[in-house]
Amino acid sequence: MSFIQGLIDFILHIDEHLVEIIQQFGGWAYGIIFSIVFVETGVVIMPFLPGDSLLFASGALSALGAFSLPVLIVGFSAAAIIGDTVNYHIGNKVGLAIKPNSLIGRFISEERMIAAQKFFNKHGGKTIVIARFMPFIRTFVPFVAGASRMNYKYFLVYNVIGGVLWVLLCTLAGYFFGNIPIIKENFSVVILLIIFVSVLPAIFGALKSRKR
């Protein structure tokens, strides 16, 4: 099985894999799932790791007593907030090092960085909160915010708001609805729907930009 096939299988059957992780690692399972959220939000080249689906599945298992719901909420929130903070600082450092003639530099010019900085300082809070619910984009936004020199205190406030909201909504959705028979029996379909709904804002945004 290739890496991509294995990753897809892990995401679509994340409930089964989480059970295996709990059985094999016990209490260390918390550290594993928190680390996944941290890397997914904090490392700009790792946006393909499960985010929404991991929170939902963990919430569903906590309703069965496999996890502690308060520990999940606190741990996931901390991982998400710290992850975005790290990503911001990486963007802040790497943004300066991007060469104008490099492949990335052709897309992220100084003029675009200045424009991005103005945009984030004016609308950045809303962008950071909304991006939390969009796979791939939530990994890229804090990096761009840092690279465009968005005010860090301003970023941090919305980082905390967005991170806590994201964790609460996804984890509690799994806790209250994840073990309903029809959802439990069609968990892979539910995960696909979660991913699809998450990327809808990005699709609509792309269509609007194309029309303009």
Does residue 5 lie within any of the structural domains? Answer: no
Q: Which domain holds residue 111?
A: 11-211
Q: Residue 104 pLDDT more than 60?
A: no
Does residue 64 lie within any of the structural domains? Answer: yes
Helices (H), the chain: 3-12, 14-25, 28-42, 52-63, 69-97, 103-107, 110-131, 137-147, 152-177, 181-185, 187-211
Does residue 203 lie within any of the structural domains? Answer: yes
Does residue 3 lie within any of the structural domains? Answer: no
Task: Please give the tally of structural domains in the chain.
Answer: 1
Does residue 26 lie within any of the structural domains? Answer: yes
Output the average pLDDT for the chain: 81
- The pLDDT of residue 35 is 94
In the numeric block, which tokens belong to residue 192? Answer: 């696909």
Q: Residue 121 pLDDT more than 90?
A: no
In the numeric block, which tokens belong to residue 137? Answer: 């984009």
Q: Residue 112 pLDDT more than 60?
A: no
Q: Residue 78 pLDDT more than 90?
A: yes
- The pLDDT of residue 134 is 83
**Percent of the chain clearing pLDDT 70 (strictly above):** 73
- The pLDDT of residue 168 is 95
Q: Residue 150 pLDDT more than 80?
A: yes
Q: Residue 209 pLDDT more than 60?
A: no
Does residue 72 lie within any of the structural domains? Answer: yes
Average pLDDT over residues 17-31: 90
- The pLDDT of residue 43 is 84
In the numeric block, which tokens belong to residue 128? Answer: 């950071």
Q: Residue 24 pLDDT more than 60?
A: yes
Reference 137, options 84, 207, 73; nearest CA is: 84
Does residue 151 lie within any of the structural domains? Answer: yes
Q: Residue 4 pLDDT more than 70?
A: no
User: Cα(174)–Cα(166) distance, rounded to whole angstroms?
Assistant: 12
- The pLDDT of residue 115 is 57
Does residue 40 lie within any of the structural domains? Answer: yes
